[in-house]
Amino acid sequence: MDRLWPVDGAATAADLEDFYRYPATPDRPWVRVNFVSSLDGAVAVDGSSRGLSDPADRSVLTLLRDLADVMLVGAGTALVEGYQGLRSTAARRERRARLGLTGVPPVAVVSGSAAVPPDSPLLTSTEIPPIVLTCAAAPAQRRRALAEAGAEVVLAGDGGVDLRAALDALARRGLRRVVCEGGPTLFGHLVDADLVDELCLSLAPVLAGGDAGRIARGPLPRSPLPMRLAGVLHADSLLLLRYRRTGS
């Protein structure tokens, strides 16, 4: 396990890049899930994760996106959180070029019903078309409208999205370094399908109370997925935890 050290001061940009590095040449989809939670387990405040995040957490979020080949997100979370495409900033271009990565990571949206509005910022405010991972049961009219709006529509499954097939479809496009940003339902289904390689969890130093949900919600897996603590950072009272699948 890496030692506990601060994000600011002792940790340089190179330190953080090394701390959060993916396997050098993944030969299969490597799924990293990133979440922020309150100390008492709330995944949101007033319906959004923004109330739990702070500048250090957002800085790490930017880094995780820069290190990835693709951002994976559920349609509900993308709409609630106002997702749009990533921008090709000078800092992002420099970092990705230095690390041997190209372009801007596309957003891959999981929606079994293809329920992504064609006028969503995911399609209207982006430099690279999003990928909509859906299934054959999704209404053909919705799939057609998304394709006409510029999305790459990928069928992965029949009656619902087969996440393993969806990840394989991304891998065939060279998108193996996956950062999943939720939401809880998508994370829960990834756990159920045993597809989670890594969890990056920011623990915000607040007690949120209320009735907010947990970071994973979905089918009960056959058995809990064992993870090992791979590293800990802190920025003042914010804890940044990194867990990896046992044996990886």
The per-residue pLDDT string of the chain (248 residues; one tens digit each, 9 = 90 and over) reads 344 555 555 567 788 888 899 988 888 999 999 999 999 988 888 777 777 878 888 889 999 999 999 999 999 999 988 999 999 999 999 999 998 998 899 999 999 999 999 999 999 999 999 999 999 999 999 999 999 999 999 999 999 999 999 999 999 999 999 999 989 999 999 999 999 999 999 999 999 888 888 899 988 888 888 999 998 888 888 899 999 998 76
Helical segments of the chain, H only: 13-19, 55-67, 75-80, 90-98, 121-124, 140-148, 163-172, 184-192
Query: CA 174: distance to chain centroid?
Result: 17
Pairwise CA distance, residues 176 & 106, whole Å = 12
Amino acid at 118: P
pTM of the model: 0.92
Return d(Cα 107, Cα 73) in angstroms, integer: 7
Q: What is the 3-state secondary structure (H, E, C) of 146-182?
A: HHHCCCEEEECCCCCCCHHHHHHHHHHCCCCEEEECC
Spatial separation of the C-alpha atoms in residues 70 and 174, rounded to whole Å: 9
